[in-house]
Each structure stands twice: as C-alpha cells, then as structure tokens.
Amino acid sequence: MATQTPDPAANPAGRTSLVRRARKIDRVLAATYPDARCELDFDDPFQLLVVTVLSAQTTDRRVNAVRPVLFGAYPTPAAMAAAPRDHLEQIVGPLGFFRQKTETLLKLSADLVERFDGQVPPRLTDLVTLPGVGRKTANVVLGNAFDVPGITVDTHFGRLVRRLGWTEETDPVKVEHAVGALFPRRDWTMLSHHLIWHGRRRCHAKKPACGACPVARWCPSYGAGPVDPAAALALVRTEGPA
C-alpha cells in the first residue's frame, strides 16, 4: 500500500512548525540577499508592465538591454499602440518570439489607451484582463510599481517552495495561495524576490549549490546538488543568469 505524505494543514502542530520554518528561511534569505529586488529596469508602471511581458522565455538582462531603445521611441501606451509593427519587431527581435511579443505589445498598449485612459490599473482583476498579462505579471507590477503585496510564482519560485517542502502544489495559482497563507501579506513581494534571487544564484534547477546554501539546515531537499563546500561554491552565481 502506498503511503501518503502528511498534510500539515490537517495537523495544527505540523502547520505551526511549517510556518515557523518557512519564515525563518525567509529571514535568512533576506540577510543573504539584502539587495534583492526586481531585476527588470523600469521608470514607471507602464515600463514595468511591458518589460515583464517581454521577459517571458528570455532573461532580464536581455530585456534591460533593449529597454532604453524601446521606451525612447515609444514612451507611452498611446505611442506604442501607434508604433509601426516592423520597427517594434526590430527592437524586440533580440528577445526571441518577436512577432508574438510585438503583437502583444500593440494589443496591450491599445487596451490601456481604450479601456484605462492610458494608465496601468493598480488592481489584479483589471490587470489580468489585459493581453499577455497573467497573475504572475500582474503581481510583479502590483508589488513593484504600486506597493500592493503580491506573490510572483515564476519557475524559480515554484521550484524552491516545493524543494523547501512548503507545498506540493504545481499549479501556479494554488502555489500562490498555499505559500501566501504561510506569511503575512506585507511580506509577499519581498518573499518573492528572496526566493527568486536564491533560485537564480544558488538553488539551480539541475544542480543546486547545496553545500553553499544558507538555508540548508532547514531544507528537506538537501543533497539534491553537491554538498561539498568547494564544489558547491563553484556553482554560486553573484548575479542572475545572462
């Protein structure tokens, strides 16, 4: 007979232990990455919305490289909605999937102009109705442009919360709710940054740097990567991937 993993929610003592462990890990990660923040450059909510949409299937560094040219040419939703398609494709070309991304930017900008007077709405329910915008993108914008707490469930975040034993959920919305229940709402945005930075720098998908991990003692997945300190240290990145 297969054994079932105990559900901490059904065990008050287990639930309390999980909450304490999760919050301790977050405090240690906060101390490890005191500069943790959104790694996409932006000057206003519109820029953050656009660069977050563009960051799909590419790196933040590549998006940051095209940002000055993109917003130098099209600084507002109205300007971007009227942009010549071929010029926009040329700008976003280095990011891959440039035709699809150009189409999304044109529709997104037009929607902002037509439905929201050219302003990025500060509400999740409105943001997710925009072309190319899901809950992940919406929470990035809310947390970093409007100071509205949100949990950003990207690939790094989802991988880490499962490795850390905070949830077994794989659906991003269920992950968001399960992890959000472990922390005060005010901590959600910075929690996202801490885990994403840790995922980019140490807790890699294929070969985590377990022997150089500041939260190894509380991690049930310790040993998924090299535990030798020297071998693990060689895997540590000082910044996110290029």
Active site residues: 136, 154
The terminus-to-terminus CA distance of the chain in angstroms comes to 47
Nearest to 40 by CA among 58, 31, 28, 52: 52
| Structural element, H or E, at residue 199 | helix 188-201
Position 138, amino acid = A
Burial of residue 3 (CB within 10 Å: 0-12, 13-18, 19+) is exposed
The string of DSSP letters for 78-118 reads HHHHTS-HHHHHHHHGGGS-HHHHHHHHHHHHHHHHHHHTT
